[in-house]
Structure 1
């Protein structure tokens, strides 16, 4: 069945875009595509499923470019993440040809490092910020959404284009008026969100594009 909602973001950090088709009535199910020209030109397709509480249950990602392709799957089973990965071709050759460092291997050597992560993230994607925002109710009229109250999270973070999976600490702080401050080890930005918690503007990464009348 066709998914009822389409969202499109234009990248501001590199030439690229993100397009997602989704259903969000009982948790989130989404299929999306990331396109980026750097560090090497690649396409990244993802499928993500959460439970009704917006905690992530499964993520499938496939990235491919000239002479290479990689895939990774994350599944939550009995409270622990199961991570499987595959690769074809030589991403490192393409990276070094373009003056970049070699990539890490796809997947995660020790999935136990991801224990306690209720959310997944995908590098370069604006959609995935919605998962903790909705799971924690940061735009609701609730105690969790009180302006200035910070929430520190452990996230299973998928790097692109390598598809290496790492544990990442992130902080989300609701500011009111549809704004949520996102911070990690290197970044602090104020996300502007719509009423459903989807990012309209993520400074330094992407801005949502809507159809013209």
Structure 2
């Protein structure tokens, strides 16, 4: 059964609806529409499938642009698949990504759920991971090192995590619900709809 989560970007105008099923693996189908202050627009649909331990198995991203005839069509797409730790992008092997377990899709906070659920960190614990970082606006995929640290839980809910991008130095304190789905990602995303029974 799918539940709908919705987020707004805090640094742009837009909206995301993502249907998520924990079965007990994760299945997600999201649609993101944003326009930044510079006028840069993104229309993206993504689908993610994991195994029961929340390791990424398959990802598909479709980017929609407005054509010369003012009709929106899927102008570009990308498919990622993982088999035994080896990644392919559009069926071509990408050894640079081998060993990555998670995917991080730049336009959504949903993919933060994967390491949060998979790592199962206790408060005070930290782990550095390698992810396949995917920017749907350019369809670039690259390896990225990230660190997740679970912070002391003061909310009695899912908890808070310090997220760090080791290459850029970017950090954020992300709050999640009991399912590990992001509630608040300061400076980037704010959840505006949760499943009714949460």
Does residue 163 (structure 1) correspond to residue 139 (structure 2)? The answer is: yes
Equivalences for 1:131-170 in 2 at 5 Å? 131-138=114-121, 145=122, 147-170=123-146
Structure having the higher helix fraction is 1
Measure, in 2, the Cα distance between the counterparts of 1:148 and 1:12. 28
- Verify the 8 A CA contact 2:85 2:100 in the aligned structure 1: no
Match of 1:53 in 2: 53
Structure 2 gaps, min length 5:
68-73, 154-158
1:81-120 alignment runs, 5 A limit: 81-84=87-90, 111-120=94-103
Matched, 1:79 2:85: yes
Q: Does 1:4 align with 2:10?
A: no
Cα deviation code 1:131-184 (max 9, x no counterpart): 00001113xxxxxx2x23221010001013011101011110000320001010
Q: Secondary structure in 2 aligned to 1:125?
A: coil
2:28 is aligned, of 8, 27, 30, to 30
Q: CA deviation at 1:61?
A: 0.4
1: CA distance, partners of 2:42 / 2:193: 24
1:110 Cα offset (Å): 6.8
Which runs of 5 or more structure 1 residues have no equivalent in the other structure? 86-108, 139-144
Equivalenced residues, count? 180
After TM superposition, the structure 1 stretch with the greater mean CA deviation from structure 2, 16-25 or 38-47, is: 38-47
TM-score (norm 2): 0.85
CA RMSD of aligned residues (A): 1.9
Q: TM-score when scaled to structure 1?
A: 0.79
CA contact under 8 A between 1:59 and 1:73: conserved in structure 2? yes
